[in-house]
Amino acid sequence: MAESQGLTLTVLGSGTMGIAIMGGVMATLAESRMRENLPSSSAPKDTAPEQLPAKFIACDMRIEAEETVKKALGHYNFPLTTLTNNNTEGTKKADIILLACKPQGFKDILGAEGMRDALKGKLLVSILAGVTQKQIEDFLYPDGLPEGGCRVVRVMPNTASFVRESMSVIQTSTPPLSDQQHKLVTWIFNSIGRTVSLPPASMDACTALCGSGPAFFALMLEAAADGAVAMGLPRAEAQMMAAQVMRGTTGLVLNGEHPAILKDKVSTPGGCTIGGLLVLEEGTVRGNIAKAVREATVVASQLGQGVQNVNGTRR
């Protein structure tokens, strides 16, 4: 596809997530170019949208972000413009907009002079934790969605976007997105990992599991490495080993292995694994991990309402 026929993707909020998503899109486009140049290339085209992003605009309120964006993405050799405190201009030039600011900052950005006009007829994808699609639509159009207004789509990715291993949840829309809009959103987030689509009622739990999940698993990984260090392994090697074991385990599960069956396969009678598992069960690890997800779900439901420091389900 010629770049002149491609779409312009504007990111409002060029922090870690905004850069990671742009980087994933650029990397996927670069890989597609390479495949197209191979004589035996047979890349599937039926799942891709008719038009893909080809130009990128990164907007942020910090002047320092311009250098950060260029350093992180400049080597991909795609047209890339950086703007500081000029979200409206970036939105005017966009075909699709990614809202990636702090959750509490969306009203300042979308309420800027000229922003509603700049968004007309375009696709606005929000990755803001705790901010619902309805909250954004009600803010933009308090009198109801007008004909030709922008379509708002909510997506919950996670920080593993940076290494293209995100788990992103795309909220289903009412009315549904057009086929090409759905394909475009799915393609963008598949470029940074895996995607599923779920209804609005599931999004707070998705925020807890996918958004907060990396922190939960990082804590478990660190604890496993700590145990190995306590038994004499060097710190760097213990951390790498724990990370690779976690990565291999998730690979088996993603390949279709049920966690319970996998656990039983490793647990030989009278062995060290079953002994360790019983210690975990005695420490209510399973219950506390599940409770952590429930707690994060309750807190996530309050974020879009401007409530912080919520105790959630704790008593």
User: Do the beta carbons of residue 160 and residue 210 sit within 8 Å?
Assistant: no
Other beta carbons within 10 Å of 268: 10
Q: How far is CA 59 from the centre of its chain?
A: 18
103 belongs to an annotated ligand binding site: yes
102 belongs to an annotated ligand binding site: yes
User: Do the beta carbons of residue 103 and residue 76 sit within 8 Å?
Assistant: no
40 belongs to an annotated ligand binding site: yes
252 belongs to an annotated ligand binding site: no
User: Do the beta carbons of residue 59 and residue 87 sit within 8 Å?
Assistant: yes
12 belongs to an annotated ligand binding site: yes
15 belongs to an annotated ligand binding site: yes
Q: What is the dihedral angle through the alpha carbons of 143, 149, 154, 160, rounded to the nearest 10 degrees?
A: -140
What is the DSSP secondary-structure string of 53-107? EEEEEEEES-THHHHHHHHHHGGG-S-EEEEES-HHHHHHT-SEEEE-S-GGGHH
173 belongs to an annotated ligand binding site: no
87 belongs to an annotated ligand binding site: yes
234 belongs to an annotated ligand binding site: no
User: How far is 75 from 274, CA to CA, in rounded Å?
Assistant: 49
90 belongs to an annotated ligand binding site: no
Residue with tokens 């291999």: 248
User: How far is 45 from 249, CA to CA, in rounded Å?
Assistant: 32
Comparing CA positions, the residue from 71, 91, 95, 77 lying closest to residue 19 is 71
13 belongs to an annotated ligand binding site: yes
115 belongs to an annotated ligand binding site: no
168 — phi, psi (to 5°)?
A: -110, 135
Which residue numbers belong to the known binding site for NADP(+)? 12-17, 40, 100-103
Which residue numbers belong to the known binding site for NADPH? 87
Which residue numbers belong to the known binding site? 12-17, 40, 87, 100-103
